[in-house]
Structure 1
Amino acid sequence: MADSFTTRTINVTTGSTETVYDLTAACGSFLREVAPGRDGLLNVFTPHATAGLAVIETGAGSDHDLLAALHQLLPADDRWQHRHGSPGHGRDHVLPAIVPPHATLPVIGGALELGTWQSVVLVDTNRDNPRRQVRLSFLG
C-alpha cells in the first residue's frame, strides 16, 4: 500500500491560440517538493471538457505536427452539432476522446521516468478559454 498521496492544482494560461503547453518542468518541481527520492506514480489531470494531456516530444516540431493532425482529424468548421462559442468549437469537445484529459506516469527516485525526448503537455485547441487548471497527484 502506498505511504502517501499528495495533490495540487496549478493554473495555466494558454492564450487565445491553439496550444501545446509543456508541463514537464511543473511536474518535476512538484515531485522535487513532495516526493524527494521516492518511487510512485504521478497522475496529471485537467478538469476541462475541451483539453487533453499527452506525452510527446516538443521543440522539434512534433507539437506543431500534433496540432496539424488534430486540424485534419477535427476541422474547425460548422459540421459539429455542439455550436456555442467560436466557429468550430464543437470539435474542442471531441478532443478529450482522442487526447485524454489524464496521464499516469512512473516516478523513480523522485523524478519522472520519461524517455529522452518525452515531455508532458497540455493540449488546448479551445481559443475561447485561455485559463486552465491541471491537477498533479503523487501516490507513493
Structure 2
Amino acid sequence: MYTDVLDVDTTRRRIVDLTDTARGFCASHGDGLCNVFVPHATAGVAIIETGAGSDHDSPASGRCPQIDTLERLLPRDDRYRHAHGSPGRGADHVLPALVAPSVTVPVSGGEPLLGTWQSVVLADLNRDNPRRSVRLSFVEG
C-alpha cells in the first residue's frame, strides 16, 4: 500500500476539492483502489458534482448549496449537549453520520475512474479547527 498525508486548511472554504491532488497521487500507480480518508470526528469526504455551476449558486453569491444544505440539516444552535467550542459545535460531530470519513475510488492506468462531473471533496463545517489531515492510500489490484 502507498500512502500520503495532506494538510488542508478549510478557513476559506468548507468544501475543498481534492480531485486534482488525488489524480496526482494516483498517476504514478497502475490499477487499484484509491482511498481518501479524513481522521477527524467533525469532517467527511464525499464525491459530488463540482465545476458545472453546482458548487455555487452564482459567482457573485459565493454560497455553496451543499454546505447550505448541511447547515440546514445540522443547525448550529443549543440543541446539542456538546459543551465546548463555538455554539452549535455539536452539529459538527453529527456530520460524519451524513458525510462519511472516507471514499474509495477505482483507478485504472493511474487515473481515478470518476464520472465527468464527479469530484472528491473534503467537507468541514467545524469553524473551531480549520486544519485538517487527509490520508490518501493506494492499494494495487
Match of 2:90 in 1: 90
TM-score normalised to structure 1 length: 0.90
Match of 1:57 in 2: 49
Q: Could you tell me which amino acid in structure 1 is paired with residue 8 of structure 2?
A: V
Cα distance, 1:71 vs structure 2: 1.3
Distance in 2 of aligned mates of 1:119 and 1:131: 21
Q: Could you tell me which amino acid in structure 2 is paired with residue 52 of structure 1?
A: G
Match of 1:104 in 2: 104
Distance in 1 of aligned mates of 2:74 and 2:66: 12
Identity %: 55
Tell me the secondary structure at the aligned position of residue 121 of structure 1.
strand
Q: Is the 8 A contact 1:52 1:101 kept in 2?
A: yes
Q: Could you tell me which amino acid in structure 2 is paired with residue 61 of structure 1?
A: S
Question: Is 1:46 matched with 2:38?
Answer: yes
Distance in 2 of aligned mates of 1:62 and 1:28: 20
Distance in 2 of aligned mates of 1:125 and 1:62: 16
Larger deviation, residues 93-102 vs 54-63: 54-63
Q: Could you tell me which amino acid in structure 2 is paired with residue 39 of structure 1?
A: D
Match of 2:125 in 1: 125
Distance in 2 of aligned mates of 1:10 and 1:116: 24
Distance in 2 of aligned mates of 1:116 and 1:18: 23
Per-residue CA deviation, residues 84-132 of structure 1 (Å, 9 max, x unaligned), is 1011100000000110100011001101000000000000000110110
Tell me the secondary structure at the aligned position of residue 27 of structure 2.
helix
Question: Is 1:70 matched with 2:79?
Answer: no
Cα distance, 1:61 vs structure 2: 2.7
Cα distance, 1:62 vs structure 2: 3.8
Distance in 1 of aligned mates of 2:23 and 2:2: 14
Runs of 4+ more than 2 Å apart: none
Query: Which runs of no fewer than 5 residues in structure 2 stay unpaired?
Result: 57-63
Q: Find the partner of 2:9 among 1, 13, 18.
A: 13
Question: Is 1:31 matched with 2:26?
Answer: yes
Query: Which runs of no fewer than 5 residues in structure 1 stay unpaired?
Result: none
Distance in 1 of aligned mates of 2:89 and 2:13: 12
Q: Is the 8 A contact 1:56 1:120 kept in 2?
A: yes
TM-score normalised to structure 2 length: 0.89
